């Protein structure tokens, strides 16, 4: 790995596994194969810059694969369906924790508070837009969007805690059904 971009997937997995506070340069070096000097060459701001770059990459992925399609893709029902497919793929059917969620719950959450807040607000808002485009009123769209994002995040945690990835897949199926029922 010789570029920042090439190191980001490995960095993300280290931060997912150990949280921000638990991630050491030794763990980062082992995951990336880069020594301390090379890491600081790529990320002069150290671990904080590494985490910020990982969050930016996650943000870009979610913008391209969830938020924008939810806001703009027609028909909106297809955008919502694709959101569930993308979420299942991204979180590896419940085998991968949400790094933004890890940061939100960790002791260093204040370092990334705005990025964490933005991730969840934008997801809920984009989903609410799609639900409004399907025909729900403003209040129902906002409430259902919050419920869906909260349940997805909870299912990730529960699937990981119980070491039962199928729980995540079942939760997504239930949420899909809930959206379809709410749409009438």
pLDDT tens column, 97-153: 999 999 888 888 889 999 999 999 999 999 999 999 999 999 999 999 999 999 999
Interval 25-47 mean pLDDT: 95
Angstrom distance (rounded) from CA 51 to CA 40 = 13
Angstrom distance (rounded) from CA 57 to CA 63 = 10
Would the pLDDT of 183 be above 80? no
Whether the CB-CB separation of 104 and 16 falls below 8 Å is answered with: no
Would the pLDDT of 184 be above 70? no
Interval 23-40 mean pLDDT: 95
Burial class (CB in 10 A: 0-12, 13-18, 19+), 21: exposed
- Which one is predicted more confidently, 33 or 108? 33
DSSP string, 110-145: GGGHHHHHHHHHHHHHHHHHHHHHHT--HHHHHHHH
pLDDT bin (cut points 50, 70, 90) of residue 45 is: very high
């Amino acid at each position: 790995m010789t570029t920042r971009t090439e190191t980001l997937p490995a960095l993300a997995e280290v931060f997912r596994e150990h949280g921000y506070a638990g991630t050491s340069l030794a763990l980062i070096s082992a995951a990336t194969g880069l020594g301390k000097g090379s890491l600081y060459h790529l990320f002069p701001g150290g671990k904080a810059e590494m985490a910020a770059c990982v969050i930016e990459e996650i943000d870009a992925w979610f913008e391209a694969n969830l938020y924008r399609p939810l806001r703009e893709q027609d028909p909106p029902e297809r955008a919502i369906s694709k959101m569930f497919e993308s979420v299942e793929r991204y979180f590896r059917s419940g085998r991968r924790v949400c790094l933004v969620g890890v940061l939100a719950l960790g002791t260093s959450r204040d370092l990334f508070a705005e990025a964490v807040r933005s991730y969840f607000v934008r997801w809920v808002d984009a989903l609410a837009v799609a639900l409004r485009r399907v025909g729900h009123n403003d209040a129902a769209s906002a409430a259902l969007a919050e419920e869906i994002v909260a349940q997805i995040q909870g299912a990730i945690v529960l699937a990981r805690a119980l070491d039962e990835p199928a729980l995540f897949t079942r939760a997504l199926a239930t949420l899909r059904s809930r959206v379809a029922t709410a749409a009438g």
